[in-house]
Amino acid sequence: MRIVGTVARSLAATLAVVTGLSGAAIAIGVAAFGLTLTGALALYFLVWWTTLFAVLPFGVRSQAEAGDVTPGSDPGAPALPALREKAVLTSLAAALVFTLVAWLLPLAGL
């Protein structure tokens, strides 16, 4: 988890890791599992967004729980959403799920 935090300190590093993981997963889907580039991109897009919504609640504390409510905002709004860390975690998890799904699709006859 420290590595993710270190990478997420810089926007450029976060974008590089997210792009690298995404590109590697799509390349594996095309080269190893016979997906078309368009099919791999579409499948990865769906997996990434689904994984993002699963990862978003991790470690979220509301402003009320943190004891620092910004005037005019909802007390239930996240105090520190840590979106860069979640983008890296989402990309890592999505790459794993995408690779598993790309491996299983031919076995399912799809």
pLDDT tens for residues 23-42?
999 999 999 988 899 999 99
DSSP annotation of 94 reads H
- Residue 110: is its pLDDT beyond 60? no
* Structural domain of 39: 2-108
Main-chain phi, psi angles of 33, to 5 degrees: -115, 5
d(CA 77, CA 107): 43
Domain count, the chain: 1
Around Cβ 35, how many Cβ atoms within 10 Å?
Answer: 21
Q: What is the value of pTM for the model shown? A: 0.85
pLDDT bracket for residue 76 (50, 70, 90): confident
- Is residue 18 within 8 Å of residue 88, measured between CB atoms? yes
